[in-house]
Amino acid sequence: MFVFESTRVKEGGPILHTHYDTDEWWYVLQGEFLIKVGETTYNAKAGDLVYGPRMVPHTFAKVGKGEARVMITHQPAGKMEEYFRKLSEGVARNMTEEERNDLRKAHGFEKVGPPITYLKQ
């Protein structure tokens, strides 16, 4: 299991993706997130938990002003901790999109679409 807390200030989030062998959960600690799992989009706020099963496309985006925090869990961990460690070391900074896709696949997931979009109010 790999569990980490993510603090986000900017709106937005990752690309739509799917994990081959890992389930993912988002537990919102502060702020508001849109979380899309399959064809369903959740408006998740502090105290909400959303489940994303493996092989089902999913993404999330921080929305609204101010700081937001979410606890993200991957079960089993697979290579996700290694992937995030590499990102924090700047490995992907100068990669082409094809190289980024290869990096994702090497760590058990792949891009299947763009980030979630939403209308700002």
72, part of any domain: yes
How does DSSP classify residue 53?
-
**pLDDT tens profile 17-68:** 999 999 999 999 999 999 999 999 999 999 999 999 999 999 999 999 999 9
20, part of any domain: yes
86, part of any domain: no
Q: Give the range of the structural domain holding residue 54, as residue numbers without chain letter.
A: 2-78+109-113
- Counting residues of the chain whose pLDDT is more than 90, the rounded percentage is 94
CATH of the domain at 23: 2.60.120.10
* pTM for this entry: 0.91
Quote the pLDDT of residue 119: 53
Count of structural domains, the chain: 1
36, part of any domain: yes
Quote the pLDDT of residue 117: 78
